[in-house]
Structure 1
């Protein structure tokens, strides 16, 4: 019997315009009466909290790819930051390269080194206000995530290789989307967050249903009792998990349609919202 639904946000629950559709919102609100929800995202806690409030539900939150995990009461139950020395070295890798934006989540702040829009700079649906950081005056403590965004994918792949070669035993690294390479502590991941919540609630992982589209969702999808991949997902995720069912894209309310088919079906309340 499934009891917990875990869902990624960008590329999965959110539309391509970074919105929660009314159909998705109403579907999740109906299901909240029967299931616990987990919002599992690479986004900062402040952003995930905003999306949770738009949905108007209680939920667990796995944020910054698992570096911060919150319970149903918005209380921090797990935190794992990058080592200070590793953070310093990561920020130095391509700091001067204008084709890449180096971005940092530190406590409740968001730092960047340049704001070139063409480098996939700014996600929509965020309350965070960025600040610039300078390598010479920045304290590299309490950093939950460092990420690199660019439309020069070759450069991002080269960064990934370098980080793996140097610090594979100290960090987890993954692409959330093609142009965003994310680095967190080796001690955590979205899958690790699911295990924490499983232990906390006394609900085995085979009672979890998960949805995702990026490589940062892979371990979460692997350990869940039932898991689905979005049609618009990274091709490498589909190749890594070939046995999982591929559902409609986030452009077509894929998560809500799947949940409706599984648990709600012909509910008249939803018909007027469904496109």
Structure 2
């Protein structure tokens, strides 16, 4: 076994049209014979599964920023939900703010409190059908992720600080992109998911390669043997990990080009 290759999806493996190019698919399918892939995303399991099925490969899946982890046979091997008290607070904290959408993943359901496009509402990024988030009727148990979207970045930065001040280590709070603030359990992250996979396979994290572009990729990129940041990545991520190699953007097949350079020489897989 050569390597474990972990990659984020949005802004990394997917281009700006939220698609995987045929070139990227070709490279991954060439390498899957001798390597194991991990698709690590903030997306819901059902949406990550669609990407994996398009690639036509078996892969580990770290979904909802690590709240759910699935093995090569699609078996759930880890789950961790937000505490009910935390979920209750998060659902209420900016519920009445018309500049922010409060969004919730609970099992295979997606809840929102408004669908204004000016608040960075992006229904095209998921196959889930949303349901209105009614605070009086909502069951606050078994929620794997709460996230907030807005084009008012300042409000989201202030919200992040407030959440961290109140809940501290009980939560992991990160921007996947500047307009999307995501909150999961403090016991959950992409890095935690990779550590679990490392132990399960008995393969050192030094044998892992990781690709990412957002702040929710930071711990994943920090713990592996070799990591790469996309040219289009969040500037904060680049500044926090100044020694990590910058590769071409997601619109230039950056991940696939990098994998080609690492594993394919003179048209032979090494």
TM-score (norm 1): 0.95
Q: How far did residue 267 of structure 1 move?
A: 3.6
Q: How far did residue 45 of structure 1 move?
A: 0.2
Q: Distance in 1 between matches of 2:81 and 2:123?
A: 22
Q: Is the 8 A contact 1:60 1:72 kept in 2?
A: yes
Q: Distance in 2 between matches of 1:144 and 1:164?
A: 17
Mapping of 1:108-123 within 5 angstroms? Answer: 108-123=108-123
Q: How far did residue 133 of structure 1 move?
A: 1.2
SS of 2:124's equivalent? Answer: coil
Q: Distance in 2 between matches of 1:164 and 1:87?
A: 14
Q: How far did residue 2 of structure 1 move?
A: 4.4
Q: How far did residue 169 of structure 1 move?
A: 1.9
What per-residue deviation string (whole Å, max 9, x for no partner) do you get for residues 156-185 of structure 1?
Answer: 001001001100121000000000000000
| Structure 1 portions without partners, runs of 5+ | 269-275
The answer as to 2:26 corresponding to 1:26 is yes
Which residue of structure 2 aligns with residue 222 of structure 1? 222
What per-residue deviation string (whole Å, max 9, x for no partner) do you get for residues 122-161 of structure 1?
Answer: 2535221111111111000110000000000000001001
| Structure 2 portions without partners, runs of 5+ | none
Query: Would you identify which runs of 4 or more consecutive aligned residues in structure 1 move more than 2 Å?
Result: 123-126, 265-268
Stretch moving more, 215-224 or 115-124: 115-124
Q: Distance in 2 between matches of 1:246 and 1:69?
A: 27
User: CA, structure 1 residues 123+234, in 2 after alignment: closer, same or farther (shift >3 Å)?
Assistant: farther
User: CA, structure 1 residues 73+38, in 2 after alignment: closer, same or farther (shift >3 Å)?
Assistant: same
Q: Distance in 1 between matches of 2:123 and 2:249?
A: 19
Which residue of structure 1 aligns with residue 72 of structure 2? 72
Which residue of structure 2 aligns with residue 244 of structure 1? 244
Q: Is the 8 A contact 1:221 1:227 kept in 2?
A: yes
What per-residue deviation string (whole Å, max 9, x for no partner) do you get for residues 187-216 of structure 1?
Answer: 110000000000000000000000000000
Which residue of structure 2 aligns with residue 16 of structure 1? 16
Q: Distance in 2 between matches of 1:146 and 1:4?
A: 29
Which residue of structure 1 aligns with residue 92 of structure 2? 92
Q: Is the 8 A contact 2:104 2:112 kept in 1?
A: yes
Which residue of structure 2 aligns with residue 105 of structure 1? 105
Q: Is the 8 A contact 1:247 1:258 kept in 2?
A: yes
Q: Distance in 1 between matches of 2:125 and 2:54?
A: 11
The answer as to 2:180 corresponding to 1:180 is yes
Aligned residue-pair number: 268
TM-score (norm 2): 0.97
Q: Distance in 1 between matches of 2:125 and 2:256?
A: 20
Q: Distance in 1 between matches of 2:93 and 2:266?
A: 53
Q: Distance in 2 between matches of 1:265 and 1:25?
A: 18
What per-residue deviation string (whole Å, max 9, x for no partner) do you get for residues 83-128 of structure 1?
Answer: 0010000111110111100000000111100000121112535221
Q: Is the 8 A contact 1:19 1:125 kept in 2?
A: no
